[in-house]
Amino acid sequence: MPRRKKIVPKKVKGLKKPLQSPKGVRDILPNEQYLWDFVLNTARKISESFGYGKIETPIFENTTLFERGVGADTDIVEKEMYSFNTLGGDNLTLRPEGTAGVARAFIQNGMSRWPQPVKLYYDGPMFRHESPQSGRLREFHHFGFEILGEQSSIIDAQIIYLAWKIFNKLGLKNATVQINSIGCLTCRSAYKDLLTDYYRAKISKLCPDCRRRLARNPLRLLDCKEEKCMQVAALAPQILDCLCDDCHNHFKSVLEYLDSLELSYVLNPNLVRGLDYYTKTVFEIWPAGEEEESRQSSLGGGGRYDDLVELLGGEPTPAAGFSFGVERVIEEIKRLDLVKKPKIVRQVFLIQLGDLARKKSLKLFNTLMDSRILVAESLGRGSIKSQLKMANKFHTRFSLIIGQKEALDDTIIIRDMDSGMQEVVAMEKVVKEVKKRLAK
């Protein structure tokens, strides 16, 4: 018989450079989680106290949802969406924002038949292809809340108050509420004509993006962050002068409600937001600081979107909402040094020496945890000296030491980390003894 050829597996060569994460995304490490927990838990608790229930929508949706909902002429749809075709021929997009998905879920799940209004909140990752910078990534996280099924202006004021309350509770007490009205489709049409005439006379002073926007969506020119475009926008006609009676009265009522809440705000006639679904009230939360710098780093924003649900195929449903960028809020909290990192404190530290001691300490570790004693360990280390150093880092009151002798005798040494005093006790009594000492 012919001899079989011996198969030798190929040797895997190491990479010349370690793999890195893609541009615009980052890891959230354990030493940062306390800030994420602080922000998200605070926002969830306050939202739930206002009667909002949590909703989770898919991370990817049909691309048409965002093209129709967010607006085909917005920067998000034109330049920033991560879209792809599946093997089955579906055209999908990683969600760039949360409101359109919530509106789709409202329609699909028959929420129009629920008691109105429907109050929902969400948090999770969003995706946009843009130039990465501090607080602005390609994968970022939003916390948002939406209220659907109520057109009263008091809802606008409540949404703003809820947003302000969250930021206040997070310690961002000097953040400002910037507010405006962009009217409805009727009065906005006349304003767009007025705005187009103004900008045509200034076209040489506009950036390339704004020149393109002038023909397709002139309202977006007011939202440009280019310095020369902001100078032109500062003297542009104001939409507040063009509001129809209904929009004027609605906005006037919103401001009166905010005044009754004694919530300060800044009337900002150039605030339009970057998404096409907004109607009437729009607002943003800006961090404390110079106005220009704050405008560039808005912490969050929202407003009313009365036409979105109908635009996506549902029944006419008035709605309003708000979302904030978690990364941006965390950056501002860190900048202001508002939250101190909690110390890692354990009540006892388990120290072992030798194989038998290691086996016994593993079982004891579980016993202590089941007894609700906060315990730390370093089972992989062999030196008692190195383990005692670890115990000091955890600020433990007591160390429990199992050496070779203790493992054979079924005893344990309890060491007071402050005084250095040690006592040998039977293994079976260690939990009772530790609890007694911790109670002192």
pLDDT tens for each residue of 157-210:
999 999 999 999 999 999 999 999 999 988 888 888 888 888 888 888 889 888
How large is the average pLDDT for residues 283-306? 81
pLDDT for residue 290? 56
CATH topology of domain 348-438: Rossmann fold (3.40.50)
pLDDT band, very low/low/confident/very high, at 135 (cuts 50, 70, 90): low
> Each residue of 210-267: pLDDT tens digit?
888 888 888 888 878 788 888 888 888 888 999 999 999 999 999 999 999 999 999 9
Q: What percent of the chain has pLDDT over 70?
A: 94
Highest mean pLDDT: which range of 130-134, 294-298, 351-355: 351-355
- The CATH class of 30-184+244-335 is alpha beta
Q: Which amino acid is at 375?
A: V
pLDDT for residue 250? 97
- Top-confidence residue, 227 or 381: 227
> Each residue of 63-94: pLDDT tens digit?
999 999 888 777 788 889 999 999 999 999 99
pLDDT for residue 224? 81
Q: Among positive and negative, which fits the CA dihedral 152, 155, 157, 160?
A: negative
Average pLDDT, the chain: 90
Q: What percent of the chain has pLDDT over 90?
A: 62
pLDDT for residue 257? 97
pLDDT for residue 349? 92
pLDDT band, very low/low/confident/very high, at 127 (cuts 50, 70, 90): very high
pLDDT band, very low/low/confident/very high, at 368 (cuts 50, 70, 90): very high
- Residue 45, number of CB atoms within 10 A of its CB: 11
pLDDT for residue 226? 85
How large is the average pLDDT for residues 270-279? 85
Q: Where are the domains of the chain?
A: 30-184+244-335, 348-438
153 pLDDT above the threshold of 60: yes
